[in-house]
Amino acid sequence: MKIWAAAVIVLFAGVATAQEHQHKHGQPYGGMQARSVKTLSDQQIADLRAGRGVGLALAAELNGYPGPLHVLELADRLGLSPEQRRQVQRLYDAMKVEAIATGEHLIDAETALDRAFKDRTITAERLASLSAAIGSHQGALRAVHLKYHLTTAELLTADQSRRYAELRGYR
């Protein structure tokens, strides 16, 4: 928990410092115009293309539904059986494939929105359609990650779930 708290503090402190600097100089989005997709940073694109959860499954994670990656990372300390390891590994592999594909759809939708503005072909109707598509892909991506937290939790014993929460700093 201490590591998570420190990471969150550093993240928000960095963001706050950058925002303060940008706002003082009147350029809140300076430099972002060079992004390949204006609404996504290079790190966000990399995370989407790697199938990383980037906080999309916090509703599950922080309420006792561990994700397959973290369960695999803690497998020895959780005392997973060989069969549990195989099952969780299969879930992780499937989640990654599904998350990468869904993340690519989101990148494509964000790219289409960016392109429509860049090319000045955007209309109110197109904006509504593209925004709805982006929202749909964001929701689908969240559902992918949450689904695998749900199924991973079903593979653990109550003791393993408690131990997981302790090891992750939630208890």
DSSP-derived 3-state class of residue 154: coil
- What's the angle, vertex CA 98, arms to CA 83 and CA 92, rounded to 5? 25
What are the boundaries of each domain within the chain? 1-30, 36-167
In the block, residue with structure tokens 């497998």: 75
Least confident window among 34-48, 102-116, 120-134: 34-48
Q: Residues 1-9: what's their mean pLDDT?
A: 43
Res. 31 pLDDT band, cuts 50 70 90? confident
pLDDT beyond 90 at 8: no
d(CA 168, CA 27): 39
Which tokens belong to 16?
């706050």
Q: Which residue has the tokens 């959860």?
A: 53
Taking the CA of residue 140 as centre, how many other CA atoms within 13 Å lie in the half-sphere pointing to its CB? Answer: 18
132 touches 126 (CB < 8 A): no
Residue 25 is predicted with a pLDDT of 60
pLDDT in tens, 66-85: 999 999 999 999 999 999 99
Q: Give the pTM.
A: 0.81
- pLDDT at position 14 is 46
Q: Which of 23-37, 46-60, 122-136, 153-167 has the lowest mean pLDDT?
A: 23-37
Q: Quick one: tokens of 136?
A: 């749909």
